[in-house]
Amino acid sequence: MSARLICWIMAMFVMVLTPGAKAEDGYDLWLRYPKAQGVALSGLSRHSESLLAPGQSSTAILARDELVRGIQGLTGRPPQSVTAIQGGTIWLATATDSPELAKLSLGLGKLGREGYVIRSVSVGGKAVTVIAADADQGLLYGVFGYLRLVQTAQPLDKIAVRSVPRMGLRLLNHWDNLNGTVERGYAGQSIWDWWRLPDWKGPRYADYARANASIGINGTVLNNVNASSDSLTAPYIAKSAALADVFRPYGIKVYLSARWTAPMEIGGLKTADPLDPQVAAWWKAKADEIYRAIPDFGGFLVKANSEGQPGPQDYKRTHADGANMLAAAVKPHGGIVMWRAFVYAHDNPDDRAKQAYADFKPLDGKFADNVLVQVKNGAIDFQPREPFHPLFGAMPKTPLMMEFQITKEYLGQSTHLTYLGPLFEEALKSDTFARGKGSTVAKVIDGSLDGHKLTGIAGVANIGADRDWSGSIFNQADWYAFGRFAWDPDASAETVAREWTAQTFTADPQFVEPVVKMMMGSREAAVNYMTPLGLSHIMGTGHHHGPAPWVSELARPEWNPVYYHRADAEGIGFDRTKTGSNAIAQYAPALARRLADPKTTPERDLLWFHHVGWDYRLASGETLWNSLVQHYDAGVAYVGGMQATWSSLRPYVDPVRFAETEAFLKIQAREARWWRDACIAYFQAISKRPLPAGAAAPEHPLLWYKAQSFPHAPGNP
């Protein structure tokens, strides 16, 4: 056979397969494993010639298959399967699988169920890469860790990685309704096909589990915290059980949001009083029923006495009474209860930012030992920026669980590129001063500050049935980042962005560096064009899309933007010092002292804590008014910069993902300008000050902005 004929045959293969070649539509997330190039390719090929993977559990097989898939994608050929070490072998095993691993001093036995080590070792003179763990789950995480190393161009000759997750519960919260809608979802319908479960389990469920396992997520709350009791009926338990069966080998447990009044709505009881023995018995029987179908069911998440949801306070009982009753029901099965601290009451005239603390702080020490209190990162509601929630550090006897929002209800929804890594990092690094300097929120939630074993973090998912899962390619980065910060709350947003970018697009530094730079400033840009200098909650009513600082007529005071910014002829901002709501007293004294004075308050939080005159001078010497306008301008300018950056990167990106991002940046640029113009038009009508030199007048008069309406905006509850 001639070389020419061979070439022809090869060309034929390429052609045959081209029409079937998959367009990049975002479905593969950061798990694309594209063919590596040059040094990276030869390095990986040399270190992955063969695979020794004796494990036989379903999880061990998933780990092995993932490694084969990754290496095959990256090098173009699968590693040879071997039963003994050769040169260039990857040895994927627990000590149970391969007792010989014990000789290698890998530190096995202390990794727990989920930790792993990856080490370059020499065995009998042969170069071997060991991926080892104490349990099969650790093997799966180790494989994803190894593939991440490989794709971020780490040298593969001397790997010495030991990784154990810092938090026990790393959960997604799906605000998905049983009818397929997703509250605050911007990525299409729910991926849970409740209607056709349990009969039909489509391939997407396993893809979901795999993606989550790749970033260490180990649990998922399937249904909205604004829950329907129906999710606890027998047909829906069977549906959840079907999902749990798919997720189990990936190390992902299923949890459910519990509707407080389920005993009445589906149980026929007359009350949902947590101290009523019939109620407790109903929940115990319900838990038993669930555990019969889902032996490793994780437990319940509860939104009670919050935004119209029923709860124990309806019966003059405390949140602890409620949580502990539920906790007793799941305790025999090893389950837990996550009780949300997101509460504020229509009949409570106090500062909304203070109410959760006021309700929960007195309950510290009163919760059962399988209860976590789940606290949003800030005291209001997932704003572009909030100071950390005062409950962090204030309940040392209670395991507090962090609740982040991955879905970008307030940060541009599906179209704005606003990478949340810096928000996660900022919140987790915040110092509560609860036990002196260095008492970071990260240390509160990882249990190290107060000695808790039960630890957790939750992210409100941004996942839907859209082909790209998250509504945009760049929104995928927020899902990824949440997983990485859940694994290690001291992670670096920049490193995480770099990992994500390299895996999602290409490891080429000509692409990665500008993209990471763009991502890293993008959340601050959103803060600037939406709510600079500590402003918050001035978005449109209901859908939360776009600016509406003028809204003042809603029934409850704390639903109105004017409640939050308090702009008047003198100045702007919410006085949370002693002269105002004194919310600062909920922080540790060392911190409260600094927050008492605008001069020692971080400027980024200034208007969160202080009502400040329009002519107040900031550190820069600029007046508050001028600086406010300049922040708005900086936000708009940053988006323009992102557009320019992205335009320059066309050669590195496939056409559809390039075009989508380009289109979304165009929307973001228009909407950033809209935010800026609307807010300036409104605030200027109050401040009555001229715009600083060089600042453009708003494009339209204020009335135009007020007249905008969006009856079909997505994500409404």
Q: Binding residues for a second copy, per CB under 8 A?
A: 1, 3, 6, 9-10, 12-23, 25, 33, 35, 69, 72-73, 76-78, 177-180, 188-189, 194-196, 199-203, 228, 230, 414-415, 465-467, 656, 660, 663-664, 666-667, 711-714
Cβ nearer to a second copy, comparing 316 with 712:
712
For residue 24, give the 3-state DSSP assignment: coil
Cβ nearer to a second copy, comparing 158 with 712:
712
Return d(Cα 481, Cα 149) in angstroms, integer.
16
Name 534's bridge partners. none
Torsion of CA 525, 526, 530, 532, to 10 degrees: -50
Active site residue 307: yes
CA distances from 717 to 378, 379, 544 (A): 21, 21, 11
How buried is residue 84: exposed, middle or buried, by Cβ count under 10 Å (0-12/13-18/19+)?
exposed
Cβ neighbour number for residue 7 with a 10 Å cutoff: 10
With beta carbons less than 8 A apart as the criterion, state whether 506 and 671 touch.
no
Active site residue 499: no
CA distances from 445 to 172, 304, 334, 422, 432 (A): 16, 22, 21, 18, 12
Q: Is 428 left (phi over 0), alpha (psi -120 to 50) or beta?
A: alpha
Cβ nearer to a second copy, comparing 357 with 664:
664
Cβ nearer to a second copy, comparing 246 with 497:
246
Secondary structure (DSSP) of 260-310: TTHHHHTT--S---TT-HHHHHHHHHHHHHHHHH-TT--EEEE--SSTT--
Give the chain's end-to-end CA distance (angstroms, integer). 67
Cβ nearer to a second copy, comparing 11 with 644:
11
With beta carbons less than 8 A apart as the criterion, state whether 204 and 251 touch.
no
With beta carbons less than 8 A apart as the criterion, state whether 456 and 15 touch.
no
Phi, psi values for residue 32, rounded to 5°: -80, -30
Cβ nearer to a second copy, comparing 72 with 152:
72
CB of 193 to a second copy, least distance (A): 9
With beta carbons less than 8 A apart as the criterion, state whether 472 and 416 touch.
no
Look up residue 19 and give its DSSP letter. T
Cβ nearer to a second copy, comparing 79 with 263:
79
Active site residue 597: no
Secondary structure (DSSP) of 195-212: TTTTT---THHHHHHHHH
Residue with tokens 């209001």: 380
**Orientation of helix 38-47 relative to helix 58-75, angle to 10°:** 140
Sheet holding 160-163, edge to edge: 80-81, 50-52, 89-94, 126-133, 116-123, 160-163
With residue 185 as reference, give the H or E element that holds it.
none
CB of 181 to a second copy, least distance (A): 8
Radius of gyration of the chain (CA): 27
With beta carbons less than 8 A apart as the criterion, state whether 399 and 373 touch.
yes
Return d(Cα 549, Cα 607) in angstroms, integer.
14
Q: Which of 276, 289, 307, 364 is catalytic?
A: 307
Number of H helices, E strands in the chain: 21, 16
Question: Hey, what amino acid is at 702?
Answer: L
Q: Strand locations in 315-436, DSSP E? A: 336-340, 371-376, 400-405
Let me know the angle formed at the C-alpha of 599 by 596 and 603, rounded to the nearest 5 degrees. 100
Q: Which of 381, 478, 558, 633 is catalytic?
A: 381
**Orientation of helix 421-429 relative to helix 493-504, angle to 10°:** 160
Residue with tokens 């594209």: 34
Cβ nearer to a second copy, comparing 377 with 418:
418
Q: Which of 97, 273, 409, 575 is catalytic?
A: 409
Return d(Cα 224, Cα 276) in angstroms, integer.
26
Return d(Cα 96, Cα 78) in angstroms, integer.
25
Return d(Cα 650, Cα 105) in angstroms, integer.
48
Furthest CA-CA distance within the chain: 91
Question: Hey, what amino acid is at 96?
Answer: T
Q: Which two tokens stand for residue 370?
A: 């399988």
Return d(Cα 92, Cα 529) in angstroms, integer.
49
Catalytically active residues, by annotation: 307, 381, 409
